[in-house]
């Protein structure tokens, strides 16, 4: 009977050791799972931050692009207006230079003084 008691006591001790080892292993496993979940959570938070930052940068880029488009449009309008004005000025210069070729020009220029000289008018 003492032998059975000793064997059963030994069996209980071995069972307690195995239970303790199993609990420790389960605790380590749960700690690893919690650590892994916290790492996943921090990564998700970082990704959300990067996504919001990415969206803000995209908005800034769109603003810059729209600003560039406005500048390009303004430059295009300016170049068209300048081209039109240059053509008009060139056309006027051409008309002035061609004036003597196509129509009669009076032999005396328009700015010449007409009339008698002062000494002749003074009553000599």
The mean pLDDT value for 50-67 works out to: 93
Q: Please tell me the chain's helix, strand, coil percentages from 3-state DSSP, rounded to the nearest 5.
A: 85, 0, 15
pLDDT at position 2:
76
Give the integer Cα–Cα distance in Å for 112 and 110. 6
Does residue 101 carry a pLDDT above 90?
Answer: no
In angstroms, what CA-CA distances link 112 with 115, 116, 117, 119?
10, 12, 13, 18
Report helix, strand or coil for 1: coil
Cβ count within 10 A of residue 108:
8
The mean pLDDT value for 18-46 works out to: 95
Give the integer Cα–Cα distance in Å for 72 and 65. 10
Mean pLDDT of the chain: 85
**Lowest model confidence (mean pLDDT) among 49-63, 79-93, 109-123:** 109-123
Give the integer Cα–Cα distance in Å for 114 and 46. 94
- Does this model's pTM top 0.75? My answer is no
Does residue 124 carry a pLDDT above 60?
Answer: no
């Amino acid at each position: 009977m003492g032998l059975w008691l000793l064997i059963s006591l030994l069996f209980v001790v071995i069972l307690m050791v195995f239970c303790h080892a199993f609990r420790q292993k389960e605790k380590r496993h749960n700690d690893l799972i919690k650590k892994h979940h916290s790492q996943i959570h921090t990564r998700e938070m970082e990704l959300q931050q990067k996504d919001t930052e990415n969206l803000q940068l995209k908005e800034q880029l769109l603003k810059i692009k729209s600003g560039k488009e406005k500048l390009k449009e303004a430059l295009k309008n300016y170049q068209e207006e300048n081209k039109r004005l240059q053509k008009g000025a060139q056309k006027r210069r051409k008309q002035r230079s061609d004036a003597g070729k196509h129509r009669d020009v009076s032999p005396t220029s328009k700015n010449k003084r007409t009339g008698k000289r002062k000494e002749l008018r003074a009553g000599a």
